[in-house]
Structure 1
Amino acid sequence: MAPAPHVPLDPPDRLVRTVTAWEGEAGRAWLAGLPGLVAGCLERWELTPERVQYPGGNVSMVVLVRRADTTAATLKIGMVTAETAQEPAALAHWNGTGAVRLLEHAPEAGALLLERLHPDISLRSLPDAKAMLEAAGVLRRLWVPPAEAHPFTAVADHTARLAALLRERRGRPWAESGRPLIDEALEAYERLAGSPVPGGPVLLHGDFHQGNVLAADRLPWLAIDPKPLVGDPGYDLAWLLLDRREDLVASPGGRAAARRRLARLSDALETDPGRLRDWTVFRAVEAGVWCWSVGDRTGGELLLEFASWLAE
């Protein structure tokens, strides 16, 4: 069916900015074809659009829709990258346990039809302590063994590439001030890479933070937007530990609060605090140096300051 003419289906500004900045010419070409992809999926799955979700994702367009039987759903169309390619497989494996349920999938369009959650209510709407408690409950449901012949990248392989990039960026002139902390992060990575995963590898969300957990009807909270990997749960937990870092860095007791948060999360999810510290330092420094590499000095400084609190 054709989209209702009164429903604007233009890509959100944030999507245009990030895809253009991160993906260059390929991103611009994808954005040019995006209206056609949206229209094709609306027709293919007999969907009626209600509105585009703003501000939406960084690399995907989200449209709230109704199916032919009038049930609510969500259409998500994004660029297919190495990070996002296995999202449908992860959602299918979880089958609604801890994560949004996958209803339909069109791989050639990078399109997913998902159950409707409450897109404007994430865990960030809760006080931080309560949000962390709820997030821990979601992670317990997500961390399951993968299928024997799974398609997911191993954390060990993914982080080996990140560590190699971090070593290369360490020598750039703009990274000079961060070199001592980069060395700390690489030492943490070597400790992790040289040790077995306690309890064995599990399927990870890969980008787990409070903003990627939305209110739902089937369960109170469900995860969205995975970048799935298989490996050490500490990899997932580290990114959650870094959540709301802006608030912690701005507060006078931020350093102590960050360390208390680490202790609480490692205890709640029975994760070794030393491993969680190492994962957090590595992920924070790697992401911070990446921010520097793309010109985001402020974002990079924030991540490195947080890492420095745990590295001491």
Structure 2
Amino acid sequence: MFENRGDPPPFQQDFVKNVKHHFKQEGEAWLERLPEIIKQCEQIWQLEMKEPYVLSINYVAPAVRIDGRKLVVKLSIPGEDFAYELEALRHLESPAIVQLIDFDEKLGALLLERIEPGVTLAEVEEEDKACRIAADVFEQLIREPLGETALPTTEDREASLAKIIADYPKGCGPISQSVLLEAQRTFHRLHSTRKKQWVLHGDFHHYNVLQSGEKEWKAIDPKGLIGEREYDLVQYLLNKLPEENPVSVIDQRIKIFTDILKLDKQRLVLWGFCHSVLATCWTVEEDGNYHRPFFQTIAAFRQIHQNNYRRDIDEAKIR
């Protein structure tokens, strides 16, 4: 069943393009090794990998083990990102996150439970219902750090913005220098007033929360991050928004999250402003294209802060 199956089918074109774009020569070399890595995983774990899901920069495919158990194999380029995800899965282990069955660091391979039916939270049409489900998963998920950790921190995100400012002194894409500096100042003020840090998911949004069984939901694909809980909800706020005027949707999501999770609303809004600036910068291409929905949220967080606290971001009285 698991021997002499030949090479896997040709890889998805967008997957190949994305890997080469993100990882350059390292990505090309990994793609060449990938058929052999797939065969090794099948042999080591005694399973058969099926047709992969729609891929981005990792190879993820359903698999069936020799005992009939349905699983998922996720293959990544070995390195920091793989190590961070592995550590995050260990730290955040709970009924609210996909179960790690086994791993092989040299191969960059994770063996995971298969979550079924596996529909994403993005498919829940009712906005408030989806947000409450997300809050329930999040509440079970986040943990206090257990001793030393190599995971990146929100200070690293601030440093990433500082590098962008140094590299693009006149502004980055649609974002002016003054807004970049305002976000940097806000990052610094939030870090200087921080009270407690947590192990965060690092990429918590609609498409990384899957339905498990009839009523349960689980998070997948943690990046791993150390910081305040409020920061970890920002990526959810940036996703699945209306094309125009996202203010009311973001504001309602913030209200639900802060009410259920007992979080600091102002800090969530300010983290949202900082991260929306950084997230937009990350999407700016050499030809000037950028992700407009992220860019729109910069003004949205500014307006939400003004509406709630009657002050601009730079004048915020941060507790």
Q: TM-score, normalized by length of structure 1?
A: 0.88
Deviation at 1:23, TM superposition (A): 1.2
Match of 2:116 among 115, 118, 121: 118
Match of 2:284 among 292, 295, 300: 292
Question: Structure 1 stretch 225-234 or stretch 81-90: which is displaced more?
Answer: 81-90
Match of 1:238 among 234, 238, 244: 234
Match of 1:202 among 198, 201, 219: 198
Deviation at 1:2, TM superposition (A): 2.5
- 1:215 maps to 211
Matched, 1:255 2:247: yes
Match of 1:305 among 282, 288, 296: 296
Q: Report the secondary structure of 1:297's partner residue.
A: coil
Q: Distance in 1 between matches of 2:167 and 2:191?
A: 20
Count of residues paired in the alignment: 301
User: Quick one: which amino acid aligns to residue 107 of structure 2?
Assistant: A
CA contact (8 A) 1:62 1:75 kept: yes
Deviations 1:210-231 (A, max 9, x none): 1011112397111111110122
Match of 1:270 among 262, 270, 273: 262
Q: Distance in 1 between matches of 2:19 and 2:262?
A: 38
Q: Report the secondary structure of 2:14's partner residue.
A: helix
- 2:128 maps to 129
- The list of structure 1 runs, each at least 4 consecutive aligned residues, that deviate by more than 6 angstroms after superposition, is none
Q: Report the secondary structure of 1:97's partner residue.
A: coil
CA contact (8 A) 2:96 2:218 kept: yes
Deviations 1:90-122 (A, max 9, x none): 212333431100111000011000001137511
Query: Judging changes above 3 Å, is the alpha-carbon distance between structure 1 residues 3 and 120 closer, same or farther for their aligned structure 2 residues?
Result: farther
Q: Report the secondary structure of 2:147's partner residue.
A: coil
CA contact (8 A) 1:84 1:226 kept: no
Question: Structure 1 stretch 141-150 or stretch 269-278: which is displaced more?
Answer: 141-150
User: Quick one: which amino acid aligns to residue 166 of structure 2?
Assistant: E
Deviation at 1:311, TM superposition (A): 1.5
Q: Distance in 2 between matches of 1:143 and 1:178?
A: 35
RMSD (CA atoms): 2.3
Give structure 1 stretches of 5+ with no counterpart: none
Q: TM-score, normalized by length of structure 2?
A: 0.86
User: Quick one: which amino acid aligns to residue 2 of structure 1?
Assistant: E
Q: What percent identity do the matched residue pairs reach?
A: 25
- 1:167 maps to 165
Q: Distance in 2 between matches of 1:294 and 1:266?
A: 38
Deviation at 1:267, TM superposition (A): 2.3
Deviation at 1:41, TM superposition (A): 0.4
Q: Distance in 2 between matches of 1:87 and 1:221?
A: 19
CA contact (8 A) 2:48 2:64 kept: yes
